[in-house]
Amino acid sequence: MESMTAQQLSKLNIKGIKIAQPYGILLGEPEKNAVIFIWGEKGAGKSTMSLGLADALAEHGRIEYIPAEEHFGKTLVDRVKRLGATHRNLNFTKWKSIQALKEILLKNRSFACILDSISVIDANAKETVELAQWCRENGIMFVMVSHATKDGQYKGNTSIAHECDIEIKVTKEGGAETEKNRYQELTAIAVPFTAADRNVSRKTKPAKQKAPANRENPVDTPFKITLKELDKLHKIRSWKRINSMFGSKMPCYAPKHSGESENAHLSIRYTADYPKKRYVLDLLLDGHLEYQACTEGKGGGLKACWKKLVSKYGDLEVRIFKQDHAKVVLGAKEYKRQERAFAKKDKKSFANEAPAPKAKQKPAGKDKPTPVTQPADTSTGEKPVTSDTDPAAETQQPIDIEAAKESQDKLDAFLTKILG
């Protein structure tokens, strides 16, 4: 049907497919002919994610999994065993060509095709998008896997991401997060790396499983850097560089923002009126304008605006709640330093927090007197003894022993006379 009225369209009932957990949490209920794009850094777990998803999709029909890079090698066999991806509808097919793949999909009436990875086609070529469109038109779900570049972006042109319905990024921390999803809000899960992980997810009811919403605060470590440090580290002179650090896909927050609200964010907006030579840079907190730097004329532009912002708000601390983004912004050295500091602090918090024993305080007015040496009895020849009667002993003058003996003799003579 080439055209359709609004009333006809409203009467359509297009149902999505249900996918086993935890993949269902991530994808929602996509259409049968959805296009899914999975990408991430080398060794992050893209193939593990795509194979587990393929086994889950096998509940709906035949799956053609094309391990274009690994072929039927040991790593693929080990992964199948580790994940328990042995559904009878999951089939592995060697890569030959796009035309050969189309013939296999039509011949086997395949439900879905997983191509790992699209580098075998050439990620920059239009053939990738054309293959995705062909699968969509023929009612076949198409899952394409791609590598990440050194700057942390997916390999290939933007037409690939535009064509897909769901874009999934797999991180080295073992997570999978949707950066685009036409069927539900953006969510994230931990990638199941073993059959046991998948079995736990199957037994857990989706209603009880809590998935992080909107990826506002996906990690525990709030990596920190000020605008001055940011400028010193990167020497920011282009709007593209600023946007890569404060863009919507890399959420950053000021200290007073916790990231709990969807709008709790720090963002920078640049507007250039080239004909009038007027340039404006806005600093927004929670979507509200906090500061505006404006430059004009020949000396104006982004560089001048950014300099004004750093001069005014250079000590503003930026918190980054995304680990892979933090590595790009902070650099590997500073990232590791902050991570170690956080781990050390975390370790101390779990240590024994019993309060140290308090020193015993002396009761008021009951200070122990300082012992004082008294003269010994010369008649017995005993050594001098100490007495606790005089607290000011240390300040007294030294005792005259001869005078004391003379006094004692007089006392003895007096007592003898009286008592005798």
Three-state SS annotation for 307-346 = HHHHHHHCCCEEEECCHHHHHHHHCHHHHHHHHHHHHHHH
Q: 26 or 122: whose pLDDT is higher?
A: 26
For the residues 243-256, what does the mean pLDDT come to?
A: 61
Percent of the chain with pLDDT over 70: 72
For residue 59, count other CB atoms closer than 10 A to its CB.
14
Task: Say what the pLDDT of residue 387 is.
Answer: 46
- Report which DSSP code applies to 193: -
Provide the pLDDT for residue 66. Answer: 93
- Look at residue 168 in the predicted model and tell me its pLDDT: 93
pLDDT over threshold 60, residue 145: yes
For residues 183 and 24, the answer to whether their CB atoms sit within 8 Å is: no
- Residue with the bigger pLDDT between 371 and 62: it is 62
Gyration radius (Cα) of the chain, Å: 39
Buried b or exposed e, range 79-90, using 16+ CB within 10 angstroms? bbebbbbeeebb
Give the neighbor-by-neighbor strand order of the sheet with 288-296: 266-273, 278-285, 288-296
Q: Is the pLDDT score of 400 beyond 50?
A: yes
C-alpha closest to that of 153 among 78, 68, 250: 250
Q: What's the pLDDT tens digit per position in 104-132?
A: 999 999 999 999 888 877 655 688 889 99
Q: Residue 286: is its pLDDT beyond 80?
A: no
As given in the structure block, the two tokens for residue 118 are 């699209």
More confident residue, 84 or 344: 84
Q: How many residues does the chain have?
A: 420
Helix axes 302-313, 227-234, angle to 10 degrees: 140
- C-alpha span between 217 and 320 (Å, rounded): 9
Range with top average pLDDT, 81-90, 207-216, 229-238 = 81-90
pLDDT computed for residue 272 by the predictor = 86
Report the b/e string of 17-35 with b at 16+ CB within 10 A: bebbbbbbbbbbebbbebb
Could you give the CA distance from residue 160 to residue 115 in angstroms, rounded to a whole number?
Answer: 14
Residue range 138-148: mean pLDDT, rounded: 92
d(CA 344, CA 323): 18
Q: Is residue 128 within 8 Å of residue 155, measured between CB atoms?
A: no
Select, from the ranges 154-163, 184-193, 211-220, the one with the highest average predicted confidence (pLDDT). 184-193
What confidence score (pLDDT) does residue 53 get? 96
Residue 408 clears pLDDT 60, i.e. is over it = yes
pLDDT of 19 above 80: yes
Mean pLDDT of the chain: 78
* pLDDT tens digits along 343-391: 777 666 656 554 555 555 555 554 555 554 454 444 444 445 444 445 4
Kindly state the average pLDDT of the residues 180-193: 87
At residue 259, the pLDDT reads 47
What's the pTM?
Answer: 0.50
DSSP state, 406?
Answer: H
**What whole-number distance in Å separates Cα of residue 384 and Cα of residue 381?**
9
pLDDT at residue 244, as a whole number: 73
